[in-house]
Amino acid sequence: MKELVEGVELLKKKYRVKLFVIGGGESEIIEMIKNGKGNIFMDPVAHDEIPKYISLADACASPLPDILWWRVASSLKVMEYMACGKPLILSRMKAHTDVAPENGDGVSYFDEVTPESIANAIEKIIQRKDEWHSKRDSIVNHAKSKFSYRVLASELIAFYRIVFSGKKIPCLESSYSLVKEKPQNKALSKNKISSIVYVRVQDIDKKFYLTSQRELIRSFNNLGIDGELIAYGKRADEPEFVKLLNFKYNKPIFIKLKIMFHLLRYAKSRAVIIFGKLSYLTSILLLIIRAIFGGSYRLVFDVRSIPVEVKKKSNIMKFKNSLHFAYRFFDGYTFITEGTKKVCDLYIRKRFKNFELFPSGFNEEIMKPLEDNRLLKKTLGMDNSVKIIFYHGSISKRRGVIELIEAVKILNATRNVMLVVVGDGDAEIIEEIKKNDSAVYLPPVNHTEVPRYISIADVCVSPLPDILWWRISSSLKVMEYMACGKPIALSRMKAHTDVVPLNSAAISFFDSVDPVSIANAIEPLLAGTESIAHDAKKLREHAIEKYTYDSIAKKVLEYYEKL
C-alpha cells in the first residue's frame, strides 16, 4: 500500500489523479493516504455497498508483493474488480495471473512492487483510457464464467457427487477437468441439446436494443449450454458469446450470405437455431441440407414485435411473408406475448400450434437498485434539490416522448424538475430535448450502465400510447424500472397493467397520453412519501419473481427440449 500511495504521488506531477481507498488497518499507512493531496480514505463499508464505490474508479489496483502467503491466496479483490468491469493494475504473481484473463485483456501488470513500477502500470491505462475501457464486457464475462458463486457451486456439486458415490477420487489433474464441465440438467442430459444460436441480421453499431437476445443467451450459458448470438458490426464491447460476422461491404445481402454459410457448422449437431423476422431467409441452406441428408437440429422462429404500420404497408407485407415461410418450414415458434401470437395468426389466417411465450425480462445482477449517484447528477449539471424524471429507450413520435417533454414543462411551473432521456431515434425530437432547459439528452449507453442513470431518478416514465403494437408488447422498460426499485408513471394499457402490481403506491397510471394527464400522474410520485418508497422497493421483489431472464430461459429451454 505504501508503494501504491507513492506511485500515485509520482503520477500527480503529470496527471490529475486521485487515490481512493476503503478499508481499515495500520494507522501509519492510513495517515499516509490521507496526507496525499486529493486522496480519499473511507472506513470499511457494508459489502453490498462496494460496487457503488468501484463504479467511480477508472482503474482498480491490487499491489500485493510476490511473497508466499499472497502467492497461494485466492484474490477476491481482483475477482470483484473484474465483475464490476474495471481495468486492473496488478503485481505479476501467480495469485493474480491465475485469476486475470489469460490474454491480458484489461490488465496492466507491474513486475516489481515499487512506486515507479506501479506508476508506469497506471500510466498505461491513463494514456489509452478508452481502449482499456472497451474491454469492460470481456472482463465481466471472464469473471462471471469462472468465479461467480453459481459456477463455483456447480463445480463443487460435481466433486461432491464423486465423493458421495463412493468411487475412488481421481488425482487433482483429472478431477479438475471433470468438475470444470458445464452443469447439465436432467432434461438436457436426455435430449442433449448441444447449443442454442440466435440469428439477427442487424448492425449493432447502429442499434442498442438487442437486450432480450443477449440476456437469453447469457442465461443459457449460465444453465450450461453453449449459446451464440449472431449479428454484425464493429463494436468491441460485446460479450464473448456475441459473434459479429462482418464483410468488406456490409450490405444486408452479403451479411445474410455470410451468416448462411456460418450456420453450416451446426448441420451435424443437435442445435436449436432461432431466427427473427429479418433473418429467417438465412435458414435456407440448413433447410435444404436437412431435406436431402436429414439432420437433428431444430429451427425456431421468434417474434419480438410486429412492424409499425406505414402508408405503403411494405413492412407488413414483408412480415407476413416471413410468417408464411416460418409456418411452412420451421419446427417451432416463440412469441413475446399471447397478443403478438394472435396477431400473427390473423395475418396468415392460420394458427401457430407448436409455440411458447418468450417475454422480455431482465438480468437481476445488472438491473438492481443503486444508491443515488450524486457525482453523476453533478456531471449532468444538477444539484440534489432537483427532482429527476427519467425515460430510456427508442425515441419516436408514437412513443409518447413528445408529450412527456411537454408534461415536464407543466410540472416546472410549480416544481424544480428535470427530464433525463437516454436513447436514440428521431433527430427532430432529440433536438427538441436538447433545446429544452428542463431536459437533458444522453445518447445510448452500454446496457450495464443503465442502472446508474435510473439510480438518480425520482420517477421513471413509460408513456407509450394504447395502440396495437404497444398493447401487445412486453414492456422491458417497465420491468427494468421495477428491478431498480423506482416509482413509475405509465399509460393504462394491457402491456403495462399485465406487468406491474395494480395496487402499489409506487405505480401511477394516466388514461390519456397527453401532457396534462402525464403531469398529473407524475405529480403524486414526486412527493416521495414513505409508502411510495416502501412500495417501490417491493416492485423489485415482484419483478424478480416473474421476469428474470434465468427463469424465462428455463421455461424456453423445456420447450426447445420437447422439439
* Residue 22 DSSP SS3: strand
Q: Which three cell numbers stand for residue 101?
A: 484473463
Q: Spell 224-235 as b/e; 16+ CB within 10 A means b.
A: ebbbbbbbbbee
Any alpha helices (H) in 422-514, and if so which ranges?
427-435, 450-454, 468-471, 476-483, 494-497
Q: Using H for helix, E for strand and C for coil, what is the string for 308-365?
A: CCCCCCHHHHHHHHHHHHHHHHCCEEEECCHHHHHHHHHHHCCCCCCEEECCCCECCC
Q: Which three cell numbers stand for residue 296?
A: 437433428
Contact 277, 302 (CB under 8 A): no
Provide the pLDDT for residue 182: 43
| Amino acid type, 89 | I
Provide the pLDDT for residue 174: 39
Provide the pLDDT for residue 523: 96
Distance between the two ends of the chain, CA-based, in angstroms? 58
β-partners of residue 548 are 362
Rounded distance, CA 547 to CA 19, Å? Answer: 40
* Residue 62 DSSP SS3: strand
Provide the pLDDT for residue 57: 93
Count of all residues that appear for the chain in the document: 563
For residue 492, what is the enclosing H or E element? none
Rounded distance, CA 210 to CA 447, Å? Answer: 10
Rounded distance, CA 354 to CA 356, Å? Answer: 7
* Residue 499 DSSP SS3: coil
Rounded distance, CA 46 to CA 218, Å? Answer: 29
Q: Spell 60-74 as b/e; 16+ CB within 10 A means b.
A: bbbbbeeeeebeeee
Phi and psi (nearest 5°) for 393? 130, -160
* Residue 11 DSSP SS3: helix
Q: Which three cell numbers stand for residue 344?
A: 400473427
Write down all domains in the chain, each with its CATH number in brackets: 2-146 (3.40.50.2000), 197-357 (3.40.50.2000), 374-547 (3.40.50.2000)
Q: Using H for helix, E for strand and C for coil, what is the string for 151-184?
A: HHHHHHHHHHHHHHHCCCCCCHHHHHHHHCCCCC
Rounded distance, CA 382 to CA 379, Å? Answer: 7
User: Whose grid coordinates read 411494405?
Assistant: 314
For residue 12, what is the enclosing H or E element? none
Nearest 5°: the CA angle 220, 222, 224 is 75
Question: CA torsion, points 400, 401, 406, 410, in degrees to nearest 10?
Answer: 80
Rounded distance, CA 336 to CA 472, Å? Answer: 8
Cα 536 to Cα 422, 506, 532, distances in angstroms: 22, 5, 6
Provide the pLDDT for residue 184: 45
Nearest alpha-carbon partner for 470 in 500, 497, 450, 488: 497
Q: How far is CA 393 from the centre of its chain?
A: 14
Rounded distance, CA 334 to CA 361, Å? Answer: 15
Rounded distance, CA 411 to CA 419, Å? Answer: 11
Rounded distance, CA 448 to CA 525, Å? Answer: 26
β-partners of residue 105 are none
Q: Using H for helix, E for strand and C for coil, what is the string for 361-395?
A: CECCCCCCCCCCCHHHHHHCCCCCCCEEEEEEEEE
pLDDT in tens, the chain (563 residues): 999 999 999 999 999 999 999 999 999 999 999 999 899 999 999 888 899 999 999 999 999 998 888 888 899 999 999 999 999 999 999 999 999 988 888 899 999 999 999 999 999 999 988 888 778 888 888 898 889 888 888 788 878 877 777 665 554 443 333 333 444 444 444 457 899 999 988 777 655 456 778 888 988 988 888 899 998 877 766 778 888 888 777 677 888 899 999 999 999 999 999 999 999 999 999 999 999 999 999 999 999 888 866 556 778 899 999 999 999 999 999 999 999 999 999 999 999 999 999 988 888 888 999 887 788 888 888 888 899 999 999 898 889 999 999 999 999 999 999 999 999 989 999 999 999 989 999 998 888 889 999 999 999 999 999 988 888 888 899 999 999 999 999 999 999 999 999 889 999 999 999 999 999 999 999 998 999 999 999 999 999 988 998 889 999 999 999 99
Please list, in sequence order, all residues whose beta carbon lies within 8 angstroms of the beta carbon of residue 258, skipping any fewer than 6 positions away.
245, 247
Secondary-structure breakdown of the chain: helix, strand, coil percentages, each rounded to the nearest 5: 45, 15, 35
- Tally of CB atoms within 10 A around 396: 14
